Structure 1
Amino acid sequence: MTHRPSVLFVCVKNGGKSQMAAGLMRQLAGDTVDVHSAGTKPGASVNALSADSLREVGVDISGETPTLVDPQIVRDVDVVVILGREAQLEPVPGTEFQNWDTDEPSERGIDGIDRMRLVRDDIAVRVTELLAQLKETVP
């Protein structure tokens, strides 16, 4: 039996970037990767503009619910990806941690759906690279 790789995407509210990354990974990987997302201080709902920007590329995250990081999932997954600069998690031995300092168009005065499209596209490139990495490293 082969091991199916697993990843946890984390941001603070689990309403935007981590949900976007999880949705994009599910679209790309199908059932070949176990995908989780969570927040360090989850909000009440998925960011509507995040959901709209993903819907444009055929991904629907509108039914997702922000959830708190589960320490057991952190220990169990192959890779934990922290998106942005705000979320903080203590590294766990045996689990690979990656920090993605994602594009933040609002720092350049770009807001609204235009901001979310740029964030989505940045995350999509990184998710594609991570999927290739997971396929290489898992037997």
Structure 2
Amino acid sequence: MSTPKLLFVCVKNGGKSQMAAALMRQRVGDAAEIRSAGTEPGAALNAQSVESLVAVGASTEGEYPKPITEADLRDSDLVIVLGEEAQLPEGAANVERWITDEPSLRGIEGAQRMDLVRDDIAKRVDELATRLGL
């Protein structure tokens, strides 16, 4: 079986998609090729996202917000879009959308919000890794 190529996408590629990629790398190591990108990438990673990942031993070392490219879409076995805001070009194949928990809608902010987002994404990452046999 070949190594699956996974691409995690959100709008800014500074928070949720970076979290998903880091958590998947932590979970499966090099059993999958894992990348992340944004439809409108920001200038830096979200500091609270990074801190939340560090707290569970996951790393974003060497990562930075990157734009999604046609090659990214073409070369990925599965594209996971986090949230409702990021929109992929029409015709993108093998796309799965994760509508993650948004604690701020319940008045939860700061580190507590980010940890809840991380935990929701981690659960989905674990389910995906199991489904893919990783």
Superposition CA RMSD, Å: 1.4
Cα distance in 2 for residues equivalent to 1:73 and 1:91? 14
Q: Which residue of 2 aligns with 1:87?
A: 86
Cα distance in 1 for residues equivalent to 2:19 and 2:56? 11
Cα distance in 2 for residues equivalent to 1:48 and 1:62? 12
Q: Which residue of 1 aligns with 2:11?
A: 12
| Deviation (angstroms), 1:62 | 4.9
Query: Deviation above 2 Å: which 4+ runs of structure 1?
Result: 90-93
* Alignment check: 8 A CA contact 1:105 1:111 kept: yes
Question: Number of residue pairs matched?
Answer: 134
Cα distance in 2 for residues equivalent to 1:90 and 1:58? 34
Aligned residue type for 1:125: K
* Alignment check: 8 A CA contact 1:14 1:38 kept: yes
| Deviation (angstroms), 1:39 | 0.2
**Partner secondary structure for residue 3 of structure 1:** coil
1:108 aligns with 2:113: no
**Partner secondary structure for residue 106 of structure 1:** helix
Cα distance in 2 for residues equivalent to 1:101 and 1:114? 19
Q: Which residue of 2 aligns with 1:35?
A: 34
Cα distance in 2 for residues equivalent to 1:63 and 1:77? 21
* Alignment check: 8 A CA contact 1:23 1:60 kept: yes
Q: Which residue of 1 aligns with 2:133?
A: 135
Unaligned runs of 5+ in 1: none
Cα distance in 2 for residues equivalent to 1:99 and 1:55? 25
CA 1:15–1:132 in structure 2 vs 1: closer, same or farther (change >3 Å)?
Answer: same
1:53 aligns with 2:69: no
| Deviation (angstroms), 1:92 | 3.9
**Partner secondary structure for residue 95 of structure 2:** strand
Unaligned runs of 5+ in 2: none
Cα distance in 1 for residues equivalent to 2:91 and 2:52? 33
Instruction: Give the fraction of aligned pairs with identical amino acids, expressed as a percent.
Output: 54
| Deviation (angstroms), 1:15 | 0.1
CA 1:107–1:129 in structure 2 vs 1: closer, same or farther (change >3 Å)?
Answer: same
What TM-score do the two structures reach when normalised by structure 1?
0.92
Q: Which residue of 1 aligns with 2:67?
A: 68
